Amino acid sequence: MTAVRVKICGLTRRPDAELAAASGAHYGGVILAPGGRRSIDLAAAAEVLDGLPLRRVGVFVDATVEEMRRAAHIVSLDVLQLHGSELPETAQQLRSEGRWEVWKALRPRPGMDLVTELRRYAGRVDGILLDGWSPSAPGGTGTPFPWEAVAPHRDAIPPRVSLVVAGGLSPSNVRAAIELLRPDVVDVSSGVEDSPGVKNADAVTAFISAALDAVADPFPRS
């Protein structure tokens, strides 16, 4: 298994982004969908991430192609994360229009044919992000998805498409998620916070350390 990468999402403050970068995170995520507890505008997002050695991820929920294209240029995004009901054709169009990657979020739940959804998007995106489903919000709720039920379908994701695991991760469980689901990226927001948008420094460093240690140690701990 190759080394897992870490994304710290829901960044709203410059010191938190600096901490994530200094602690070994690979991605910094900003919520550009309006109305969320961690939402920030384009100018604030650019300021939070400016000059840091993090790949910049912008999270959108059913935004128009033009809105996402504009945001990508203003914030210098490396990844556009589609967290709503965006169609495969929308993802493919965005992917063809810039240097950025496109990730599509799926939220496994009872009654959803996950394999069919994976096949719909797998050839049109660079990454599939699995998140927990909640009726209260499209993401950022700290809700896990059913890992055990999803794990048998891991190989339905083509090798060229990254698997990003999110939803309810924390320093205490990220190792187990990595060992079971074999993700390329682990993504955390609420699991390392004191309050929405305010990261806890100890939790951020512990999460990153635990994620990297899970790959570095080839012998699972009992």
Residues designated as active site: 9, 131
Residue 214 corresponds to which tokens in the numbers above? 């899970």
Phi-psi category of 197—alpha, beta or left, where left has phi over 0 and alpha has psi -120 to 50?
A: left
Q: 34 and 54 in contact (C-beta within 8 Å)?
A: no
Q: 27 and 55 in contact (C-beta within 8 Å)?
A: yes
For the four alpha carbons of 60, 62, 66 and 67, in that order, the dihedral sign comes to negative
Strand runs (DSSP E) across 39-170, as ranges? Answer: 55-60, 79-82, 101-106, 127-130, 162-165
Letter for the amino acid at 8?
I
Q: 1 and 220 in contact (C-beta within 8 Å)?
A: no
Strand runs (DSSP E) across 87-161, as ranges? Answer: 101-106, 127-130
